[in-house]
């Protein structure tokens, strides 16, 4: 099935899957820790893009009350800070002082999706949250999107802006981006934390299959017709995703605790849809990037890593469930697993639990890693 035909149903469940913050796996403990690893589903994070790529808050009746007892990053329609990378404008937020931590959002989201995490983490760390190229307040560049583009962006961000050994934290697509960046920059990344990460393990049977040589009929007739069809379908989906009633309906269907669906969240996802080239970027992501994910597998990336790995996993995620976390755990021994009763974006659903898990892990695992790095 082409990506143009498989998008809409899962958009509702992939970007957000919150639950009430009082639900835990164990009644006596807010979370459980085990040694483990992480993975990602291509279909999963692909579908998030529909709801997140272009929405409008016109006519919204939602509220903007923050989660009680949790400080929230102020929303700035103009953005916070900008960095020029390869001629493109990249948006990022930075707060706090101390050892650096870089937060990387998921498909269709932005740095503002870490609204409840940045202020708390910034009390002890210097926290950066970056918008990946093509998303959020970063430029909607007309390039061929590939996982390695975002890897290079994060690697250069750490080198040019952070300039210190750092920890990378990513949700969904941002999780896989954190992994490939860490594998490409082992001397500067001292830890990685994944929240319901995207990515998939290699399939030997699939890898063994070889595509047949392209015929003249395929190249000059079938491929152009397929592209026309994809543009029509995806153009309609992009337009549909902008409708106010659709936006509120999608968000409320994937947030079990709908009090987390507020104007701040909606606007932080929808504003970028008005950017020049947003529709074309959406098309390129759906037809090219999403159909080419078997090139990069979790096992190949994890085999190149040596730093501590933290998995914070929302076990109620319908697309990237706990089985994936358990498989990562089996593959990569240097892993701590925290299971939460949450969906795909636990950092926004149960931020106080995610913040606690991150701070506990940062104070132990990464301090040891940094000490060993300094002795090398």
Q: Angle 244-254/42-53 helices, nearest 10 degrees? A: 140
DSSP helix/strand/coil, 300 = helix
More reliable by pLDDT, 365 or 41: 365
What pLDDT is recorded for position 375?
Answer: 55
* pTM for this entry: 0.78
d(CA 273, CA 162): 29
Mean pLDDT of 192-197: 96
Percentages helix, strand, coil for the chain (3-state, rounded to 5) are 45, 15, 40
**Identity of the highest mean pLDDT range in 66-70, 254-258, 342-346:** 342-346
| Weakest-pLDDT range from 32-41, 71-80, 154-163, 280-289 | 32-41
Q: Find the mean pLDDT for residues 15-36.
A: 36
Cα 306 to Cα 170, 309, 344, distances in angstroms:
17, 9, 26
- Section 86-106 average pLDDT: 97
DSSP-H helix ranges across the chain: 8-14, 42-53, 118-121, 147-157, 173-184, 204-208, 216-217, 223-241, 244-254, 263-270, 278-284, 298-302, 322-331, 346-349, 351-361, 367-375
pLDDT, residue 221, reads 54
Give the per-residue pLDDT at 270: 81
pLDDT at 256: 66
List, for residues 104-152, the tens digit of each pLDDT value.
999 888 999 999 999 999 999 999 999 999 999 999 999 999 899 999 9
> CA angle, corner 206, sides to 204 and 207, nearest 5?
65
- Position 251 scores a pLDDT of 65
Band of the pLDDT at 278, cuts 50, 70, 90?
A: confident
From CA 350, how far away is CA 343, in angstroms rounded? 9
User: Has residue 245 got a pLDDT over 50?
Assistant: yes
Walk across the sheet containing 88-95 and list its strands: 32-34, 335-340, 309-314, 189-195, 166-171, 100-104, 126-130, 88-95, 81-85
Task: State the pLDDT at residue 197.
Answer: 96
Predicted pLDDT at 235: 57
Instruction: Report the alpha-carbon distance of residue 136 to residue 272 in Å, rounded.
Output: 5
pLDDT band at 374 (very low <50, low <70, confident <90, very high): low
Domains of the chain plus CATH, in order, are 81-200+293-374 (3.40.50.1820)
pLDDT value for 244: 57
DSSP 330-366: HH-SSEEEEEES--S-HHHHSHHHHHHHHHHHIIIII
Coil, strand or helix: which one is 214? coil
Q: What is the pLDDT of residues 309-334, one digit of tens each?
A: 999 999 988 778 899 999 999 999 99
- What is the maximum span of the chain, computed from C-alpha positions, in angstroms? 65
Q: Examine the pLDDT at 63 and tell me if it is beyond 60.
A: no
pLDDT: is 361 or 215 the higher one? 361
């Amino acid at each position: 099935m082409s990506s143009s035909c498989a998008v809409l149903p899962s958009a509702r469940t992939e970007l957000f899957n919150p639950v009430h913050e009082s639900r835990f796996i164990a009644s006596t403990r807010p979370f459980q820790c085990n040694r483990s690893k992480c993975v990602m589903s291509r279909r999963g994070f692909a579908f998030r893009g529909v709801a997140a790529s272009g929405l409008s808050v016109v006519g919204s009746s939602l509220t903007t009350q923050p989660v009680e007892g949790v400080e929230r990053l102020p929303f700035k329609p103009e953005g916070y800070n900008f960095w020029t990378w390869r001629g493109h404008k990249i948006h990022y937020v930075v707060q706090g002082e101390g050892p650096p931590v870089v937060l990387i959002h998921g498909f269709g989201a932005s740095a503002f999706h870490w609204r409840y995490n940045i202020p708390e983490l910034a009390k002890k760390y210097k926290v950066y949250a970056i918008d990946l190229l093509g998303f959020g307040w970063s430029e909607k560049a007309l390039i061929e999107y590939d996982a390695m583009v975002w890897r290079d962006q994060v690697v250069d961000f750490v080198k040019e802006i952070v300039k210190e050994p750092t920890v990378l934290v990513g949700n969904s697509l941002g999780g896989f981006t954190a992994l490939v960046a860490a594998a490409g920059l082992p001397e500067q990344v001292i830890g990685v934390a994944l929240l319901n990460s995207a990515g998939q393990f290699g399939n030997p049977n699939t890898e063994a299959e070889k595509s047949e040589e392209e015929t003249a009929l395929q190249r000059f007739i079938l491929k152009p017709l397929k592209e026309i069809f994809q543009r029509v379908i995806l153009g309609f989906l992009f337009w549909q995703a902008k409708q106010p009633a659709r936006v509120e309906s999608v968000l409320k269907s994937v947030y079990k605790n709908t009090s987390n669906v507020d104007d701040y969240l909606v606007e932080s996802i929808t504003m970028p849809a008005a950017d020049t080239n947003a529709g074309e970027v959406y098309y390129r992501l759906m037809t090219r990037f999403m159909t080419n994910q078997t090139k990069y597998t979790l096992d190949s990336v994890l085999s190149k890593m040596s730093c501590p790995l933290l998995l914070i996993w929302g076990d109620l995620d319908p697309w990237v469930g706990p089985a994936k976390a358990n498989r990562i755990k089996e593959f990569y021994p240097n892993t701590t697993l925290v299971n939460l009763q949450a969906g795909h974006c636990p950092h926004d659903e149960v931020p106080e639990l995610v913040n606690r898990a991150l701070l506990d892990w940062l104070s132990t695992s990464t301090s040891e890693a940094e000490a060993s790095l300094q002795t090398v």
